[in-house]
Structure 1
Amino acid sequence: MADTCTLHILHTNDVHSRFSSMPHIASCLRQHRDRWEALGEHVLTVDIGDHADRMDVRTEATWGQLNVEVLNRSGYQYVTIGNNEGITLPKARLDALYERAGFTVVLGNMVDADTGKVPRWAVTQAIHEWEDLRVGILGVTAPFVQFYQLLGWETKAPFELLREQIAALRSSVDLVILLSHLGYPEDCRLAQEIEGVDIILGAHTHHQLAHGERVKETLIAQTGMLGTNVGHIRLVWDREAHKVQEASAELFPSTEYPADPDLSAYLAQEQKNTERLLERTAVRLSVELSNSWTEETSFGSALAASLRQWTQAEVGLANNGLLLTPLSGEVSYGDLLRCLPHPINPCAVSLTGEQLSRVLMQSIQPQVIQRELRGFGFRGKVTGWMGIDGLQVWYEAGEQPRIARIEVNGELIDSQRCYRVGTIDMFMFNRLFPDLAEGTQIHYYLPELLREILAQTLNDEALLTAAQKPRWLNLARS
């Protein structure tokens, strides 16, 4: 037996259902695996979560099971989950997601709230063994504690857990690899604070590390997003010295590999099949709901009213930028998906009248309306005009708009009084409106996404009729 052996790790992260990348990724994985294994070298293929994204019709219609089949057909061996798998799927759907997985899900920091046990579809750790090498594999995901609790899961703080897992595992393996959907800053902190991890394969923050980054004795790697790259780690293990002799990281652009014809054909057929599944009528509209990102619309008002109704709040707020297409007539579930592809949930927050006034004032500033948004679940382009419900606002437009009067359900706003506001969870994270994020008694509503809520509320004729009446009153037009 040779004194050294070579391990290759091919990894992806945050593909977000960009299925057009997967036939290229599948070719990349297969081509390199065949070549390296023919040389007697070892290969692992892993994904670090957020492979599924419900904005894609094939993921939406199959509750992510098509993603699992694509991972199977591409030859993955180990995965962990991201927040898109963990908190955009109802508990029963996540429990069923990996029933047909041909790979192992490694996830150490999540348990079923009812049983206190690891989900039946996951293991807390894995050991992959060859004759001359033993590799321990751990996995953790970002602990969105409150969201997971509302869905029936409990998440654990990852650092102390990993410290215990590594201490128990280290003596029985040669290498420890962590599949981390915590994000790049947390990966760096983890490498600083916890010894014994040779490789951290990262995700969540969409960092693209061309040649990895070494923090103390740990090599950190991440590939970006949307399947643009396949990451490659090459390790040479010295068996006699019992240490890593060489370690390097690089990225393979996925489009440099030919699309796998079988996977391409499968995905094309499933596109047709899943589109048919979502052709079912969700709602029949008696009015047309058109939208504009730059001015008040009845659609924006209807969305705000839907959030207010769903959260049983006094006021509803929702930015028009969430609405990507108009709706009219018979609206299918596919139409709702195209209009609202975001994995965004409702939430309720308590604001003082003073805070609410500042939010409304900020919302009509041109730079806010036109601001481009990225991340935090948003799948649109700009913030757009703020749709409101339970409010009437008199304002003056212009380069520096100002508000003259605000009424809440027919009464002049009281700066000292607390109001319950129904809005979207995105505002709690992106701090576009600081007063919203700093409100009190924040409550999130899961598992329904915005489009699932509209499938119910748009059947309410009274809500639609009321949404036709302007809530923003431009004094210059009076």
Structure 2
Amino acid sequence: MANRTSLTVIQLNDSHAYFDLHQEMFWQGGQAVYRLAGGYARIATIVKQIRAANQERVLFCDCGDTLHGTYPAQSTQGQAMIPVLNALGIDAMTAHWEFAYGPVAFKQLAAELSYPMLAINVYDQATKERFFPPYSVKEMGGLRIGLVGIACNIIDKTMPPSFSEGLGFTLGREELPGIINELRTKEKVDLIVLISHLGFAQDMKLLSEVGGIDVCLSGHTHNRLYKPAVQGKTLVIQSGCHGSFLGRLDLEIDGGRVVDYRHQLIEVEAKISPDPAVDDLVRQALAPHQEGLSMIVGETATALNRGATLETTMDNFLLQALLESTGAQLAFSNGWRYGAPIIPGVVTLNDLYNIMPMNPPISTVELLGEEIVAMLEENLERTFARDPYDQMGGYVKRSLGLTAYIKIENPFEQRVQQVFIGDEELQPGRYYPTAFVTEQGVAGKYGHNRQQHTERSIDALKAYLARHRPLHAELRGTFVAV
């Protein structure tokens, strides 16, 4: 017992630049309910309270998807986030949507952080050198802790080319054993913590193949884990999204081994008093945008959220606006997970930017019936692949104008059973006018007569709200698992 040491690990993941309180969705009594949560000033209060009670034996790590996701972050290329994040006392992080600003701008942003950006799996293609350090070592409470980062590996595979220009991304499983060995033998660490943005399923498979990690802080897939998963000897936690939760893992360590642990998924409740210093930084970051973003642009009768895999009310709103704007027969958007809920009542401009902070232009294309099936099969494989390493993306591609009957458990290219366009079965060889946003909505290899319109997404959403007050965007059963 004399050598036993305690350590508290705090996790933040997928906060998506939600500076302050926002609506969050919870399940209660078999239905969705909404309440205010989150905000970096409340996160700061929780972390300071934990640190005060634990004699500085507290490690605070961020799994990424932090510098992008709301208008104030997007419009400043992440700069608005820097003072706030530096005030939180984070020890290390890794990345995903941070690459949206381009590798050069992201590298400059990372240099302004007061803690290291870590990634064992991102390489400069010209020099073959790592773009960020693979690990850092932190000493606290008599322990040497190795912190290893794995960035999201799909940046150069599914995201726009500008995100990964000049870079290459790997899964990290080839590099990880060597890094673990270096930390154990050269750095003489007592504990190794993996800060990952691969996704929960991917992390679980990786940890089944590579031993030696004590704790894995998992991100990307927005899981709310109310108790840790255990893979071999590794504890795995993930803690929701939008900064609505923190994960807390209290460890007892003896002889370089975790011998006991306690876990808590902490809701960042609205009643928590904001930390004054961080709250002031948040106010400064939001002030230039406050008046414009608070403008009321409509009203909704439907609670809008992205809390489901196959179809969501938030994306039905977006897709309805695309169809009305273009007169197309079908509409597609990507299966985004982020975007705080919008409860029934007034809708502000800020709400619209939370749906899609990039505000991309609307595009149209003509798709053959067989291309639509191929596109859906590809997307379903990226969502439900049996091998977690083949899962690349968010949820199922958001669609409107069709009804697809699918078998989720089937292998690739065998999931789509039937597709109907309205009441008529999809016809191979027939072209269907289609609206979409971003290459993730309809990849460039599909369709012909592709056109980018002058109208941007936010304008289409505003126009739709003006014509439909209140908005109705209920679920339609677009994808039916049979």
Pair in the same fold by TM > 0.5:
yes
Q: Describe the shift of the 1:180–1:349 C-alpha distance in structure 2 as closer, same or farther (beyond 3 A).
A: farther
**Does residue 210 in structure 1 map to residue 226 in structure 2?**
yes
Does the CA contact (< 8 Å) of 1:80 and 1:140 recur in 2?
A: yes
CA distances 1:388-447 after superposition (whole Å, capped 9, x unpaired): xxxxxxxxxxx994459x9xxxxxxx955999988445866xxxxxxx7xx99369xxxx
What residue is the counterpart of 1:135 in the other structure? 145
CA distances 1:355-413 after superposition (whole Å, capped 9, x unpaired): 459999xxxxxxxxxxxxxx94899xx85558xxxxxxxxxxxx994459x9xxxxxxx
The AA in structure 2 aligned to 1:207 is N
- 1:75-474 to structure 2, matched below 5 A, reads 75-82=89-96, 84-86=97-99, 88-119=100-131, 122-130=132-140, 132-144=142-154, 145-147=156-158, 150-151=161-162, 152=165, 153-171=167-185, 172-238=188-254, 241-255=255-269, 257-274=272-289, 300=323, 318=332, 337=353, 340-341=356-357, 352=368, 354-355=370-371, 376=394, 383-384=399-400, 401-402=422-423, 415-416=428-429, 423-424=436-437, 441=445, 454=456
- Structure 1 residue 159: Cα displacement: 1.4
- Structure 1 residue 33: Cα displacement: 1.0
| TM-score for both structures, normalised by structure 1 | 0.63
**Does residue 29 in structure 1 map to residue 47 in structure 2?**
yes
Does the CA contact (< 8 Å) of 2:334 and 2:440 recur in 1?
A: no
- What secondary structure, in the 3-state scheme, does the structure 2 residue paired with 1:159 have? coil
Aligned mates of 1:384, 1:419 — CA distance in 2: 13
Does the CA contact (< 8 Å) of 2:160 and 2:439 recur in 1?
A: no
Q: Describe the shift of the 1:124–1:344 C-alpha distance in structure 2 as closer, same or farther (beyond 3 A).
A: farther
- Structure 1 residue 116: Cα displacement: 2.6
CA distances 1:23-74 after superposition (whole Å, capped 9, x unpaired): 110001111112211xxx52111111112333x2211221112223211111
CA distances 1:126-167 after superposition (whole Å, capped 9, x unpaired): 111247311111111221132468231210122122122213
Does the CA contact (< 8 Å) of 1:347 and 1:442 recur in 2?
A: no
Unaligned runs of 5+ in 1: 280-291, 306-314, 325-332, 361-374, 387-398, 407-413, 429-435, 444-449, 459-478
- Structure 1 residue 264: Cα displacement: 2.0
Aligned mates of 2:324, 2:359 — CA distance in 1: 20
**Does residue 52 in structure 1 map to residue 97 in structure 2?**
no
Aligned mates of 1:154, 1:320 — CA distance in 2: 23
The AA in structure 1 aligned to 2:288 is N
The AA in structure 2 aligned to 1:36 is N
CA distances 1:259-312 after superposition (whole Å, capped 9, x unpaired): 112222322232121458999xxxxxxxxxxxx96999896465689xxxxxxx
- Structure 1 residue 185: Cα displacement: 0.9
| TM-score for both structures, normalised by structure 2 | 0.63
CA distances 1:226-268 after superposition (whole Å, capped 9, x unpaired): 2222111122222xx4432322322222226321122223222
- Structure 1 residue 218: Cα displacement: 0.6
Aligned mates of 1:32, 1:68 — CA distance in 2: 23
Aligned mates of 1:12, 1:218 — CA distance in 2: 19
The AA in structure 2 aligned to 1:146 is K
Q: Describe the shift of the 1:338–1:72 C-alpha distance in structure 2 as closer, same or farther (beyond 3 A).
A: closer
Q: Describe the shift of the 1:51–1:338 C-alpha distance in structure 2 as closer, same or farther (beyond 3 A).
A: closer
- What secondary structure, in the 3-state scheme, does the structure 1 residue paired with 2:239 have? coil
Unaligned runs of 5+ in 2: 22-37, 295-314, 342-348, 377-392, 403-419, 461-482
CA distances 1:431-470 after superposition (whole Å, capped 9, x unpaired): xxxxx7xx99369xxxxxx999839x99xxxxxxxxxxxx
Moved over 3 A (4+): 274-279, 292-305, 315-322, 333-360, 375-379, 382-386, 399-404, 414-428, 439-443, 450-455
Does the CA contact (< 8 Å) of 1:321 and 1:385 recur in 2?
A: no
What residue is the counterpart of 2:87 in the other structure? 73
- Structure 1 residue 221: Cα displacement: 0.9
The AA in structure 2 aligned to 1:123 is P
Q: Describe the shift of the 1:227–1:192 C-alpha distance in structure 2 as closer, same or farther (beyond 3 A).
A: same
CA distances 1:163-186 after superposition (whole Å, capped 9, x unpaired): 222133223211111001111111
Equivalenced residue count is 368
